[in-house]
Amino acid sequence: MFENLTDKLQAVFRRLGKRGTLRESDVDEGLREVRLALLEADVHYKVVKDFVARVRDKAIGAEITKSLNPEQQLVKIVHQELIETLGEPGRLELTGPAPYVLMLVGLQGSGKTTTVAKLALHLKESGHLPLMVAGDTYRPAAITQLEVLGRQLEMPVHSEGQSAPPPMICANGVREARRRGSDVVILDTAGRLQIDEEMMAKLEAIKKAVKPVETLLVADAMTGQEAVNVAAGFHERIGLTGLILTKVDGDARGGAAISMRAVTGVPIKFLGTGEKVDALEVFHPDRLASRILGMGDVLTLIERAEAAFDEEQAERMERKLREASFTLEDFLEQFQQIRQMGPLSQLLDMVPGLGKMASGLSAEVTDQQFKRIEAMILSMTPEERRKPKIIDGSRKKRIARGSGTTVQEINALLNQFRQMQKMMKQLGKGKDGMRGLMRMFG
């Protein structure tokens, strides 16, 4: 989402890095471009003005560390100020007597119903027993959609069709949660294409009926500046306690994420990073600031890996690697687990430096490569996966036909796999093996 902003900020930093010292004129020149980059990324103009003023004060003040070069100095200051603008990490306030009621609000099309299911899964994995309530009687498909998601996640959904008034459905949902022993109730509410009096009146009635501990606005990051105006409108009328930004994996300019906290004073609590029900991240301002500046986000990458990789499987794989008995079946298993972590281009952006190296690759290209490799391995017989040496010319032609690829691609895959096996054998030989491995990499 922040690709254009990241590129422009890095260009400014690189140019300043060529100067010997950071003079006031250099700072002003650099910050003019930072201001333009932020405005082009749809950051609210008042937020940009305040942000640039704070960075300037620190950049030409006494807070500069002498051990850093001009580029590092400005990156450090901009990083600190981005964190301050994004605000403290927002956490759900699940305190007081259960069940805790979380009311999700937002405009139609923001991804509210899917976010209800994502939040329910997140809470379930955190040890809670959530109940989802289908309170959106305005959009007929919303009730069916939530029921389908409930069956998919094996979680209860309270619904009463479209005839009952939403405040009554939500109040009955809370009573049902008490009966079931659920400690969290997540309410899906109706949205419109834009803020109107009827929608706000219904939301106020629901809030009065169930007294939620959290009122969370689900906002579409793709709408840019409009998302900020929507957040301000909802907060003024019903009082928000948090924000959930959806579609942050899309091709948006990213300014909404930087502006919303500053304009509304309401913390961002979660980021929706994809369409799958597990694509919900707890918001960390420091990690997002690092991503914006192209510094990577290793902590989120580790968390995704921990969620995707089973500890027992990892130990078994490590043993196979040490013994050099790693097969194409194992290779496929690893590939499939990596794909569970999200789009490859998104993962590369989280590794400092790698995102820049892979900037020429789109998400479609890298994920398409994953799919082709998967198709090639799945087109092999179990014996061929375990013993790639038996794959001769005729077998390669059959595998290529079955996977919709070419013999050349099959050869490239087998060569890469052989290289990887060599590396594993070298590593298994200890110190001497490590020297050999270093020689392989020049």
pLDDT confidence bin for 257, thresholds 50/70/90: confident
* Nearest alpha-carbon partner for 184 in 97, 272, 279, 114: 97
pLDDT confidence bin for 254, thresholds 50/70/90: low
In this predicted structure, the answer to whether residue 396 has a pLDDT above a threshold of 70 is: yes
Tell me what pLDDT residue 130 has.
95
* Nearest alpha-carbon partner for 4 in 30, 42, 31, 32: 42
**Average pLDDT over every residue of 131-148:** 92
Give the range among 52-61, 193-202, 309-318, 348-357 with minimum mean pLDDT: 348-357
* Nearest alpha-carbon partner for 324 in 213, 421, 225: 421
In this predicted structure, the answer to whether residue 359 has a pLDDT above a threshold of 80 is: no
Domain residue limits, the chain:
3-86, 100-293, 302-440
H/E stretch holding 84 reads helix 70-86
**Average pLDDT over every residue of 90-107:** 89
Give the range among 109-118, 122-131, 430-439 with minimum mean pLDDT: 430-439
In this predicted structure, the answer to whether residue 361 has a pLDDT above a threshold of 50 is: no
Say which residue, 301 or 293, is predicted with more confidence: 293
The winner for highest mean pLDDT among 245-254, 326-335, 388-397, 418-427 is 388-397
For 19-66, the DSSP string reads SSS--HHHHHHHHHHHHHHHHHTT--HHHHHHHHHHHHHHHSSTT--T
In this predicted structure, the answer to whether residue 424 has a pLDDT above a threshold of 80 is: no
Model pLDDT for residues 163-178, shown as the tens digit of each residue: 889 999 999 999 999 9
Tell me what pLDDT residue 274 has.
82
Say which residue, 408 or 326, is predicted with more confidence: 408
Give the range among 96-105, 268-277, 423-432 with minimum mean pLDDT: 423-432
In this predicted structure, the answer to whether residue 434 has a pLDDT above a threshold of 50 is: no
Task: Name the packing angle between helices 363-378 and 393-403 (round to 10°).
Answer: 130
Q: With H, G, I as helix, E, B as strand and everything else as coil, classify residue 94.
A: coil
Rounded Cα distance between 99 and 317, Å, is: 42
pLDDT confidence bin for 212, thresholds 50/70/90: very high
Residue 362 in tokens = 């789109």
In this predicted structure, the answer to whether residue 417 has a pLDDT above a threshold of 70 is: yes
Say which residue, 292 or 100, is predicted with more confidence: 100
For 241-302, the DSSP string reads SEEEEE-TTSS---HHHHHHHHHH-PPEEEEE-SSSTT-EEE--HHHHHHHHTT---HHHHH
- Give backbone dihedrals phi and psi of 242, rounded to 5 degrees, phi first: -170, 165
Model pLDDT for residues 1-56, shown as the tens digit of each residue: 556 666 767 777 667 666 556 677 777 877 888 888 888 877 888 888 998 888 88
**Average pLDDT over every residue of 149-176:** 93
pLDDT confidence bin for 426, thresholds 50/70/90: low
* Nearest alpha-carbon partner for 291 in 271, 309, 276, 277: 271
Q: Is it true that 100-293 and 302-440 share their CATH fold?
A: no
Rounded Cα distance between 354 and 73, Å, is: 22
Is 267 within 8 Å of 88 (Cβ atoms)?
Answer: yes
Cα angle, residue 291 at apex, residues 289 and 292 outer, rounded to 5°:
65
Tell me what pLDDT residue 298 has.
47
Say which residue, 40 or 271, is predicted with more confidence: 271
Q: What's the chain's average pLDDT? A: 79
Q: Cα 128 to chain center, whole Å?
A: 22
Q: Domain 100-293 adopts which CATH fold?
A: Rossmann fold (3.40.50)
Rounded Cα distance between 317 and 29, Å, is: 53
Peptide bond into 343 cis (omega under 30): no
Tell me what pLDDT residue 404 has.
92
pLDDT confidence bin for 429, thresholds 50/70/90: low
Tell me what pLDDT residue 209 has.
94
> Largest alpha-carbon pair distance within the chain?
75
Sheet holding 157-158, edge to edge: 157-158, 130-135, 184-189, 100-105, 214-220, 242-246, 268-272, 280-282
Model pLDDT for residues 231-244, shown as the tens digit of each residue: 888 998 899 999 99
DSSP designation for 217: E
**Average pLDDT over every residue of 347-352:** 56
DSSP designation for 430: T
For 114-180, the DSSP string reads HHHHHHHHHHHHTT--EEEEEE--SSHHHHHHHHHHHHHHT--EE--TTTS-HHHHHHHHHHHHHHH
Rounded Cα distance between 201 and 203, Å, is: 5
**Average pLDDT over every residue of 389-410:** 92
Q: With H, G, I as helix, E, B as strand and everything else as coil, classify residue 68.
A: coil
Say which residue, 159 or 9, is predicted with more confidence: 159
Tell me what pLDDT residue 161 has.
86
Tell me what pLDDT residue 213 has.
94
Tell me what pLDDT residue 314 has.
61
Q: Are strands 214-220 and 130-135 parallel, antiparallel or unpaired?
A: unpaired
CATH 3.40.710.10 fits 302-440, yes or no: no
In this predicted structure, the answer to whether residue 196 has a pLDDT above a threshold of 70 is: yes
**Average pLDDT over every residue of 145-165:** 93
3-86: CATH architecture: Up-down Bundle (1.20)
**Average pLDDT over every residue of 175-204:** 91
Tell me what pLDDT residue 2 has.
57
Tell me what pLDDT residue 307 has.
60
